[in-house]
Copies of this chain bind each other. A is one copy, B any other.
Amino acid sequence: MARDDESATGLGHADMGHFVRNGGERCRECPLAECSGLHHHALEVREWIASFRKGEVHYDRGEQVFVQGTRPPYLFTVLSGVLMRTRLLEDGRRQIINFMFPGDFLGLQAAVDGEMGHSVEALTRVTLCAFARTQFFELVTQQPRLSFDLTWLAAHEEAALEEHIVSLGQRNARERMVALAVFLVQRGLDTGLAPEGVLQLTVTQGQIADMLGLSLVHTNRSLQALRRLGLVDWKLTSIRIPDLAEARRFARLDGSSQTLRPYI
């Protein structure tokens, strides 16, 4: 429900963020290289990726990177910042599908289909590494290692969506919230966005509601309950979980596997 119509104008990538056309030379300073949660490529693979890169794009919080139903010219790897994928129903109801962190690949659906089935919006200022959609086939085809990594990312995104489905189908409001908080903080830890276990990220209660399939009012009340219970302290600009293990138990989440993620 809680729709904010800030950027549903259909403008889409017509205003292409702030595109900086620069090639692989910038890859030497790739911010992902310092990310401890990522698996880093061999030099030759890195150089191959560099030759593919078309430039960098910046978006500010609230801007749309992809618009549902359009055919984007570029696909992206997130270099920094956080985004969310959303899907709209014709009557205006909105569902947030998932959040995207540094290292994630954006636009896989467009890559194979041409068209996006969802929108992607920046939650913070983000930097994206741009690839040409028309060259995607070469990317999958010419570099076995990257092809495998892409499959890896797709399989893991699928697993994340499964977990979200379990939340929506089987968990009550509080459990859902804890599960989401744990997921976000964990990803924040893996990508260096949550120093000392506190994720610095601005998420409104309206967005939480749209992610968890709850009303704004009920989201608010459940959030207060969790704060009182000392399980999760979720404020506008930060998420703090005093005891990760206890939160996991509460939401009935099983231990995370903690493998290094590849990235393209």
Residues of chain B contacted by A168 (CB below 8 angstroms):
165, 168-169, 213
Q: Which residue of B lies closest to A150 (CB)?
A: B151
Contact B155 A109, beta carbon cutoff 8 Å: yes
Residues of chain B contacted by A144 (CB below 8 angstroms):
140-142, 147
In the bound complex, CA of A210 to CA of B165 (Å): 11
Contact B108 A165, beta carbon cutoff 8 Å: no
Knowing A151-B140, A252-B89, the reply to whether A113 touches B259 (Cβ < 8 A) is yes
- Most chain B CB neighbours (cut-off 10 Å) among A158, A169, A170, A252: A169
Contact B151 A112, beta carbon cutoff 8 Å: yes
Q: A126: shortest Cβ distance to chain B, in Å?
A: 21
Knowing A118-B162, A148-B140, the reply to whether A112 touches B170 (Cβ < 8 A) is no
Contact A141 B151, beta carbon cutoff 8 Å: no
Residues of chain B contacted by A210 (CB below 8 angstroms):
169
Knowing A140-B147, A150-B151, A212-B169, the reply to whether A158 touches B108 (Cβ < 8 A) is yes
Taking CB atoms and an 8 Å cut-off, the chain A residues in 92-147 that contact chain B are: 93-95, 97, 108-109, 111-113, 115, 117-118, 137, 140-142, 144, 147
In the bound complex, CA of A49 to CA of B147 (Å): 18
Q: Which residue of B lies closest to A164 (CB)?
A: B165
A245 within 8 Å of B (CB atoms): no
The one of B111, B155, B166 that contacts A89, using a Cβ cutoff of 8 Å: B166
A60 within 8 Å of B (CB atoms): no
The 10 closest A-B pairs by CB, nearest first: A169-B213, A141-B144, A168-B168, A154-B154, A161-B161, A95-B169, A93-B170, A112-B152, A95-B166, A147-B147
